[in-house]
Structure 1
Amino acid sequence: MKISIIVPAYNVQSYIGSTLESLSQQTLRDFEVLIVNDGSTDRTPQTAESYLADMPEARLIHTENGGVSRARNRGLAEAKGEYVLFLDGDDYVDRTLVEKIAEAVTSDAAPPDAVVFRFLEVGEDGKVLSDFFRGKSALPHSLSGVDTLKKVFFDRDLRIAISGIAYRRKNLIESGLLYEPDCVNGEDQEFIYRALGRSREVRFVDEPLMFYVQRRSSVTYTYNVRKFDFAAAFDRAAADLREQNDAELNRIADVLGGPYLLEDYLYTIRTCLAAGDFRMSALLRDIELHYPGLPDKMKKRIQECRTEGIALPRALRLFRASPFAYGLLLRAKSSVASRRSARSAAATMSSNRTGAAGEGNS
């Protein structure tokens, strides 16, 4: 049972070495690596080339720059493994990743449609920043795709990262599932939800096998209005779930296109405002320019949720009443946090100076 690991890579010369090094050290060698160089303008392809000899089957595929979704689709088209995993070129994996996936796949007679495992969010220095699974119940041996989605949307005790799931390639091919080419944010979640909606069985590995690197230069931490692509991605995924003609998937689609989308909308607004000295009025104008009607559409959905008695966070209710009041609240909180940080830094410097003076007098 071979696993295909697809690595889209664009201008990640400083990171892809760690990614490929983690693959070269795998305890089980039954896998192939497809590195899709997405028209990089730095030394990403040269860096990747230097690791090819250390992996059993590895190919470097060159394409014109077309975005991460097209790169993943290209890798999927050329993959030969029974299972495929999409690993970003700035993340890395545990040395037992392939071995643990293989064990999960062969633990029962019939092969599952997907294997899901835990992950850790880490900084560029490797320090653990967040562990979503800490304090939560152990992952089960297996669930249906529908029940897996229910853990994500109803129980809120499961989160699946783009590189935290391996798919049975046959299932993807038969359903014609691909990444949305021109979507720059939310395309990974759209793909995951649509794939799980078509999965008979999902097996789990209750261990962190992937390390998701949080880069300050990533789209999450910058002002980029294209981050709101996620709204259409969630709507497409919800529509796809409804097309399966399953009552439970319909319920999941309602949550995905309702409160789940709205919470992500507010989160994306916060990250955009936090990325620079931007005001709510300017951001909403920018959103309207690139996504005509989206701000009004989101306000309408908030009202629909309230009418249907769906509980929403207080922040969403405030935003619905007055986006500008919500923006002022965010600026006030940011100002308070900055002052506290400055006071803490000053106190630390003062303590260090006092300590140094004391040492000099001893």
Structure 2
Amino acid sequence: MRYKFSIIIPCYNIEKYISKTLKNVLAQTFQNFEIILINDGSEDNTGKILDSYSNKDNRIRVIHKENEGVSEARNVGIKNAKGEYIYFLDGDDLIENTFLERANEVLKNNKIEIFSFGFNMIFENGKIKRKYSSEKYDNKIIRSKKFLSLFFNKKVGQNMCSFIVKKDIIENKIFFTKGLERGEDLEFQIKMLLRDVNLFYDKTPFFKYVSRNGSVVQSKVKLNIFNFLEVLEKFRKEIKDENLKKDLEYFFITYYFYTIKEMAIKGYTEETYNQAILILKKYEYILNKLKFNFSMNYLKMKILIIVYKISLKFLMFILKNILYKN
């Protein structure tokens, strides 16, 4: 059977959440889909739970593999997908039950290769923490490169789980980078959007990202937070469109300061701090790429650059105590 959608769910030690997620997916009003569950070397009862669901529904396939990380798990899912379209979902998040029905309606237009939509970050009790939705671009067909430009400028939001893509667009062409510990999902999305295909945007928050208390153990920051700077530098060299390159450079600068903010919030060892200075120096040139405009974001970024050049530790104090919001 040729499925309309392949839903790829990487699973690692999520025995507490995966049943709720699977029940949520199986409750879709549109039923022509398969679920590919990649058990990425779980050490708890996740694998057994996945097998129990697979035994009850022939649309569910489980692939057990050794632990190699979420990127390789998703790559395995792509290679095994039988659907016309691919959707990535994390094993502890949720979707609206009319999501695939709406996606099917949109994708009947065979000129649309990507369906992007709004999403909400919610607490475990269901209360909305933050909304990511754009009224301005609702129900519009946009070239994916244009959408990428909007994303770089924070005019639209997109998450790894807030789009569906035609399998032909990524199959044997785009994969997740194995071993990239930070930003692997964002890198994939940028590569996908650079294909310059038609994208349809719906502001409806079909995806719910669940923010869990204590889901991430607080620890001092590690140098892998800087890995994505190298990825952005690679894109900057590859992108030929000068306008898109300028948008990427703005995004590059915002991410540069994001890494500094994360250092400030999580804390760091003296060794990490000294290594971080060397890495930041390597990409410091990007700060000179900020092009003048009259926006508040520009002024804020200019202030951060000035403070950074005075004192990195003073900037971290500002980012942690003045600009950081929970």
Cα offsets for 1:111-156 (capped at 9, x unmatched): 422110111001223221000227x4251321111221122124x3
Cα distance, 1:316–1:222 mapped onto 2, change above 3 Å: farther
**Counterpart-to-counterpart distance in 2, 1:57 and 1:239:** 43
- One-letter amino acid of the structure 1 residue matched with residue 190 of structure 2: Y
**Counterpart-to-counterpart distance in 1, 2:306 and 2:58:** 54
Instruction: Single out whichever of 45-54 and 226-235 deviates more from structure 2.
Output: 45-54
Q: Secondary structure at the match of 2:247?
A: helix
Gaps of 5+ in 1: 339-362
Relative to total residues, which structure has the larger helix share, 1 or 2?
Answer: 1
1:270 is aligned to 2:261: yes
1:326 is aligned to 2:315: yes
- Aligned-pair identity in percent equals 25
- One-letter amino acid of the structure 2 residue matched with residue 305 of structure 1: K
Q: What's the counterpart of residue 153 of structure 1? A: 152
Contact 2:35-2:61 at 8 Å conserved across structures: yes
Cα offsets for 1:288-339 (capped at 9, x unmatched): 6xxxx4210232221x225x5474342233123310221333465499x99x
Q: What's the counterpart of residue 243 of structure 2? A: 251
Contact 1:120-1:210 at 8 Å conserved across structures: yes
Q: What's the counterpart of residue 92 of structure 2? A: 90
Q: Secondary structure at the match of 2:75?
A: helix
**Counterpart-to-counterpart distance in 2, 1:210 and 1:76:** 20
Cα distance, 1:51–1:316 mapped onto 2, change above 3 Å: farther
Cα distance, 1:334–1:208 mapped onto 2, change above 3 Å: closer
Contact 1:100-1:205 at 8 Å conserved across structures: no
Shift of 1:239: 4.1
Corresponding residue pairs, total: 317
1:169 is aligned to 2:141: no
Q: What's the counterpart of residue 20 of structure 1? A: 22
Gaps of 5+ in 2: none
Shift of 1:221: 6.1
Contact 1:8-1:38 at 8 Å conserved across structures: yes
Taking the TM superposition and a 5 Å limit, the aligned residue runs for 1:1-362 are 2-53=4-55, 55=57, 57-106=59-108, 108=109, 110-133=110-133, 136-154=135-153, 156-173=154-171, 176-217=173-214, 222-225=219-222, 226-240=224-238, 242=239, 245=240, 247=241, 250-256=242-248, 258-276=249-267, 278=268, 283-287=272-276, 293-302=278-287, 304-305=288-289, 309=292, 311=298, 312-330=301-319, 333=322
**Counterpart-to-counterpart distance in 1, 2:138 and 2:87:** 20
Cα distance, 1:305–1:230 mapped onto 2, change above 3 Å: same
Cα offsets for 1:186-228 (capped at 9, x unmatched): 1111111111110320112231111011234456965442232
**Counterpart-to-counterpart distance in 2, 1:262 and 1:219:** 26
TM-score normalised over the length of structure 1: 0.79
Shift of 1:268: 2.7
CA RMSD of aligned residues (A): 2.7
- One-letter amino acid of the structure 2 residue matched with residue 300 of structure 1: Y
Q: Secondary structure at the match of 2:171?
A: helix
Shift of 1:253: 2.9
Cα distance, 1:61–1:297 mapped onto 2, change above 3 Å: same
Instruction: Single out whichever of 310-319 and 192-201 deviates more from structure 2.
Output: 310-319
**Counterpart-to-counterpart distance in 2, 1:230 and 1:46:** 35
Q: Secondary structure at the match of 2:10?
A: strand
Contact 1:84-1:168 at 8 Å conserved across structures: yes
Cα distance, 1:56–1:141 mapped onto 2, change above 3 Å: farther
Shift of 1:184: 1.7
Contact 1:186-1:234 at 8 Å conserved across structures: no
Higher RCO (CA < 8 A, seq sep 6+): 2
Contact 1:220-1:271 at 8 Å conserved across structures: no
**Counterpart-to-counterpart distance in 1, 2:304 and 2:24:** 41
TM-score normalised over the length of structure 2: 0.87
Shift of 1:98: 1.3
Q: Secondary structure at the match of 2:125?
A: coil
Shift of 1:101: 0.9
Contact 1:84-1:167 at 8 Å conserved across structures: yes
Cα offsets for 1:29-81 (capped at 9, x unmatched): 11111011111111111222333356551111111110110000000000011
Cα distance, 1:138–1:144 mapped onto 2, change above 3 Å: closer
